[in-house]
Chains A and B, each alone.
Chain A
Amino acid sequence: MTTTTPTSPQAAAAARAVTTRRPAPRHRGYARRTYPLWFYVPAAIVFGVLFVVPTFASFYFSLTRWTIFDSEFIGLGNFQQFFSEPALVKGLTNTLVFGVVTSAGKVVLGMALALLLTAPVVARGYLRSVVFFPVLVSTIGVGLTFQVLMNPTEGLINRVLGAVGVDGPAWLVDPSIALLSVAAVDVWKGLGLAVVIYIAGIVSIPAEYFEAARVDGAGWWQQFRSIILPLSMPATSTVVLLSLIGGLRSFDLIWAMTRGGPGFTSDTIASVIYKQYQAGFYGLSTAGNVVLFLVVAALAFPLSRYFNRREVNL
């Protein structure tokens, strides 16, 4: 079979256009018999029962005091609590900070590393592998490792900083930067994915553009500003969307590194959901789920629309 190589979306669209223009050689009912809709059924049952039903149920149960077996309707009480208790409000703002900071970090550093790794430097393959590998490693393992590396006195990071005369911060123990420390580790772990997405974007830019720019006397910075940056917009939108959705939902890393501490200064909605679940406040926990749903949806859906428009305009 020589047909298994993936074709570009444009080619696929063209092929589809051709097949639809051709008068259908098949008799009526061909599609119905060849591609039966019951193929959807097994997947739809699992997805429906364990994803769609809980999602809809969460809207109701978030309005109740709930013990799994009984629920008592209490209106918006859970949400009121969610937006009035400082610990829970902190979780909401932290979630936004964490999502934005990690996305920004992955975009900037991902782009920088991708530029380095598409340039003709030695040991390119080695570097790409080294940067990508953390993506595949257990988040909990990474979290516990960095918890040790970020130890304020004994940790490797502050020892190295101390050796060059810098007084390192207390990282996870300092309430004012605990969340940002976790965000830094999240960037470290997820950067590899951003880099490979950017590399795919940059190598797909036709070489003629760079040649033409060089003939016109454009320097490195101008080439970056006027060619690479706009033409890797699809890659940027992918990186932003992926890391934003991942960052807003992030639980494993925060739980492994700080458990939301010190106090509740690095709690996010996801860790609040778990804490309230453990404490037996199922209704409140589910309200947290609904808030998280609204936050993610409110950011992700418009962003994907915005990026789609930008790409068309290019």
Chain B
Amino acid sequence: MTAELHEELTDPHADQLDHGAASSRPLKSRISEPQPRGAKIHGNRPVDQSEAANRFMAATEHEAMHDARLWDLRQKRDKEMHGIEEWEELRNLASGIKEHTLSKLDYYLELFEKNATANGIKVHWAKDGAEHNAIVLEILRSKGVERLIKSKSMLTEECGFREFMAENNVEVIETDLGERIQQLDDEAPSHVVVPAVHKLRTDVASVFAKTIGSDPDNADAHYLTECQREATRPLILSAQAGMTGGNFVVAETGTFVVCTNEGNADLSANTPPLHIASIGIEKLIPGLDDLPVFIRLLSRSALGSPITQYTSHFRGPREGGEMHVVLVDNGRSARLGMEKFWPGLKCIRCGACMNTCPVFRRSGGLSYGATYAGPIGLIIDPTFNVHKYRNLPYSSTMNGSCTNVCPVKINIHEQIADWRKTLAGEGEISPVKKVMMKAAGEVLASPVVYRASLPLGRSALRHLPHFMLYNKLNTWGRKRDIPETPKQTFNEWYRKNRKQQDEGKKS
């Protein structure tokens, strides 16, 4: 019997195939750590990212896996980058093409509409999520659709699409494995490219056991994948409509391009006769000649692979079928008018900024409590709801790694700083920060007050100066020792040892 098996399967030491090992690290124990959940949402109250991050870090197995997995993607990205001599030039080109397109967005959108219509695509315009959902529902109802298969799309997350469809009795089946895991667990995607990356295999086993009846004690990646395939394929094959997003929309040809690694967009688009693509208006590029620049950057930046497994061009409906494109604004036009924040629209959703972000890797994407997590989320989310997401721009050390991995050169860390200024200017700043900074500003503006505020009797009182302690959360010392205060400050040393010399020099 064994002779018929692939040789890797007959090796007693190889309990997993290589790609399986890469995507889920073997677990040491079978006693699984419970999965930490995301940020607690209380209506419109500001999301407390650090609270959720602390819970994520307390689940040490999850945090360690998450950090290692995403850092691995960052390293693979670096390796790919070094293989492309003109990498920085590509980034410049990509940024330039996006800036050009955004500066003439109305022109390119209308050009796309004209050419797509000529190709037989029905083009719809939605000003916000609600309009998008209504348009899609109308299309589905006109065809009597009860089940829709759909590939991963962050835009539909923005629109609350799945919830809306559930309320309207349309069954939605995600065809991306990670997204399907998240759907079955009733959780949002935690990452734009790898939506279930915050989960251990044991978490997936427990979700599948509850929802599709797999063995709760079997956390083998291949077993779980196979179970999902068995459970979902029949649903996919009998769906009456398919939905995809779109990575790039080509104005001159009236076509759009979807990039996936699982081929699941093709499954969604090609299985049923009705294909609906929901696409944000910022996804436009002028022509096909511009596309390779982005194709070369996208997967290298995202996963450190040279290209996505599938790069599918959609040109028009197949014979007897229908193809619809819903172009969605949902705040994008307003963002385009924001002097400091419009460059966020260049984003191609590669997730490289998340993979490199040291805060994201330790917090998990769900800690942000918003559609977009990580660095790009910090600068996009407040445009959706400035009050609710006002704390997010503080969930960053502003180290700038994000800006420098970004394939379209979005100045992310500068925008984070600009958001802090904007939020403080609009009064959207937590009272503790406001009070503390007002006090610091007073103290630091006056040499006399400043000197008086320094820890006195330093050998006895070993603590930070008062302006850093102006709150109940003297958090420095929880996990860090407080620096010892020396016998004298530099200022005192200088006055004692050098000041007279200076004065001597002058006279």
A, B in one complex = no
Binding site for B on A (CB under 8 A): none
Please list the residues of chain B having a beta carbon within 8 angstroms of any beta carbon in chain A: none
